[in-house]
Amino acid sequence: MLERLTSYLDSIRARDPAPRSRWEILLYPGVLAVGLHRAAHWLFEGELCFLARFINHFARLLTGIDIHPGAVIGRHLFIDHGFVVIGETAVIGDNVTIYQCVTLGGTNPANGIGGKRHPTLLDNVIVGSGAQILGPIVVGSRARIGANAVVTDDVPEGATMVGVKARSTLVAAETWQREFIPYGTPCKERCEPCEPAEQGIQRLAELETELTALKQRVAALSGEAVSAEAGDAKPAASRKRSRS
């Protein structure tokens, strides 16, 4: 038991540079929430649903993290900060990282039909802050869900999903091979878009060319308008002189 706890705390320390010791990690809301969920899930499987729910609500009050007792969670789940919601039929694999304000939610809760309603996250998935993963979909191993993405379809292994509705974006091979990407978003420090740099540069050049052409067209139209006004002014002046 002690060895498993030590391994769990070390796995969190490898993903978070903030803690100075294992003792500090024990106070993390995500660690407390996952620990209490283990007890609640054990009671839930034993059909002691009221006690399981009681622990669930106590954990939510204490940590701001709501994990349904029925959710199945693998080893070394790291929930970094609170306000995370994990639904009843969610399944989470090993070494998954979830940041704040994430929802693993179900679809069509109003129809009263049970069964698999929540997502399955396979091993080594990273879910960025504010992401919403909805429905009985599968997020493949080593996939990254960018901040505030809304995912409603299956995610291939190793894919990086961004946007609303989330779309897959290409990343460099060396980025994909990294063991851990904070917030699941492989943007560079200069906050460039999560797309190949060559495409961004090419698109920028195209926009600058279009802008130059539009400026030239506006200048030409302005010149034609000035010439037309000057041409109208000359006959009017001639008519005044003839009258006089």
Q: Compute the radius of gyration of the chain from its Cα atoms.
A: 29
Task: Determine the pLDDT at residue 191.
Answer: 44
> 150: number of CA atoms within 13 Å, CB side?
4
- pLDDT mean by block of 10 residues, the chain; 244 residues: 92 93 94 97 96 97 96 96 94 97 84 82 96 95 94 93 83 61 60 53 83 89 76 61 58
Strands 160-162 and 167-169: antiparallel
CATH of domain 2-194: 2.160.10.10
Q: Tell me the CA distances in angstroms from 114 to 35, 85, 174, 185, 201, one per residue in order.
A: 26, 18, 42, 34, 49
* pLDDT value at residue 200: 64
> Domain residue spans in the chain?
2-194, 196-244
Cis status of the peptide bond prior to 165, with omega within 30 of 0:
yes
